[in-house]
Structure 1
Amino acid sequence: MPFLDLLRPVSDEELRQLSAKNPGWQLERWKDGRLIVSPIGRESGYLEALLLGQLYRWNQQRGLGLVFSSATGFKLPDGSLLSPDAAFVFRDHWLGLSPEEREAFPPLAPDVAFEIRSRSQTLEELRQKARAYLANGTRVVVLLDPYTHRVEVHRQGGAEEYPDPQRIPLDPELPGFTLDAQELFL
């Protein structure tokens, strides 16, 4: 993961401005202030769209919450600002925020976060992000590696690995949702 170490931590507003001035790059911030700088690739963008479609269809049937794309940065309790490739937040958690908090970087950990590995990332770097999400209250983190056709599901109790999976149920965190990995890994 490429890092940018600055002389001081970047504020939320500065991060917003940097993102606006640098389209094509995803900027995130670790709790220690280091910036994560990642190019947005076509392959991971395509997979993100497919994944968001699965989550959206599932949520349309159940109406349990909101689905977010990688354009949303979540300000985690430890001060990190991370943007999962896809995220889900239960409705009551979202409605617990003020309108101002919803408009800015929402100050909460998503209930479920999905990260798709790009060529510029290692699986260990994604695992580091999974640990950060879980430490801040995310219930489950799903890591997808399109290059090895592997999925890892991280929960507080540990991780499960699925080499070349077809379908992966994500109960109880997402009731009735089954990740169709076969659709994602063409």
Structure 2
Amino acid sequence: MIALNLRPTIELTDEAFEQLCRSNPDLRLERSAQGELIAMAPAGSESSRQNLSLSAQLWYWNQQMKLGVTFDSSAGFTLANGAIRSPDAAWIEKSRWQRLTPEQRRRFAPICPDFVLELKSPTDDLASLQAKMQEYVDNGAQLGWLIDSETHQVYCYQLGQAMQLLEHPSHLSGEPVLPNFVMDLTLIWD
């Protein structure tokens, strides 16, 4: 990950950031609340495999429950603090998503997901990911999981609660934010 401070030379407005992303579709870019441009390396093959497993479980649960909308790692969301972030997987409750206009949905939607998931890859900095997870909660995420597949640890973030560290859990419950959702982590630990 590389963070570039473009201020005061360049103001990275929503429109400028969107154009930059469109002009560079192979790059994974985010914008911090301070206006920094953040470029992330592509995920390695193993991290990509693990992320797909986690995202697929969330997607399948949502298909069964029909309570909201799921997103993969390419979706960007404009948070209330001005950051544009892209979690590895996300879910938004249906009525909140439906309140957005079609134009808002086509862009980096001005909404913080209700649930966010980040999978730490070997090139990721843990402290940066922890700060990103706290940023999601500070901007309205009700539940977030930061999964470190190397250490088999999960950092659980919930609105109004202290972060909880779990050591080598086999499953995670999404209750009450994701009713009846249980994520099977044995698929990525092995």
| TM-score scaled by length of structure 2 | 0.92
Unaligned runs of 5+ in 1: none
Contact 1:9 1:32 (8 Å CA) reproduced: no
Q: Distance in 1 between matches of 2:87 and 2:109?
A: 13
Deviations along 1:139-185, one digit per CA (max 9) or x if unpaired, are: 01110111111111111211111111101112011111111111122
Distance 2:162 2:122 in 1: 25
State how 1:143-154 maps to structure 2 within 5 Å: 143-154=146-157
What amino acid maps onto 2:15 in structure 1? Answer: E
Distance change >3 Å, CA 174–CA 106, structure 1 → 2: same
Name 1:166's counterpart in structure 2: 170
The amino acid that maps onto 2:175 is: D
Q: Where does structure 2 lack aligned partners over 5 or more consecutive residues?
A: none
1:61 corresponds to 2:64: yes
RMSD between superposed Cα atoms in Å: 1.4
TM-score, reference length from structure 1: 0.94
Q: Corresponding residue for 1:30?
A: 32
Runs of 4+ in 1 over 3 A off after TM superposition: 20-24
Aligned with 1:88: secondary structure?
Answer: strand
Q: How far apart, in 1, do the equivalents of 2:181 and 2:53 lie?
A: 15
Letter in 2 for 1:138: A
1:122, 1:132 → 2: CA distance? 15
Instruction: Give the paired residue count.
Output: 186
